[in-house]
Structure 1
Amino acid sequence: MTSKKAYISLIYFFGALGGLLFGYDTGVISGALLFIREDMELTPFLEGLVVSGVLIGALVGAAFCGRFSDRYGRKKTIIWLGVLFTQLEPLEQAWLIISEYYCYSE
């Protein structure tokens, strides 16, 4: 196999792996939805939003990150988004702690 064919095969493999991970995420959240539905008393509309949240995030990311990639390059965009994720992740933990505090204080 030539190096060009191997490279193209590798690209196809990782593209297919991305699709597999979307399906896996949907399957996992559907299993967790059984417990989420009872705890949060979700309506069918909100259940649909929970399951499709990953796809909505991908849609928003594709819409905005394509422009950044065109302007600054893919590598810089991925690096900066990784830095942004690393900086904002502690806020998620803080929101979890705050929401648990208010949830159990009532």
Structure 2
Amino acid sequence: MNPIDDDDIEALLRQSFDGPAPDAGFSDRVMRQLPPRRRRSAWPLVAGVVAGAVLCALSLFASPLWSAAWQAWLAGEWSTSTLVTLGAMGAMSLLALGWSLAEADDH
């Protein structure tokens, strides 16, 4: 159905019917007989986050940028490698946050 025709069809239906059709409790009986909603399990999300963090750490430990940033950060110095690494981590965190919010709107 085209969205253009929705208003016309709704106006015709409102002219023909005074209100909702009585169902004599049919909807309530059907809703009572439906099984309860299953809760989503959180373990796949937690396992994915942990696996991603471990794999990311393993791949970054060999990087000279990561080791220089880590050493400078522990020494309290803000080197270029520290700023680049923290900036990349912040950008990825913001992207993940935006993606999570966009996905939350769909559900």
TM-score between both structures, scaled by the size of structure 1: 0.37
Greater per-residue helix proportion: 1
Q: Which has the higher contact order (CA 8 A, sep 6+)?
A: 1
* Structure possessing the higher radius of gyration over alpha carbons: 2
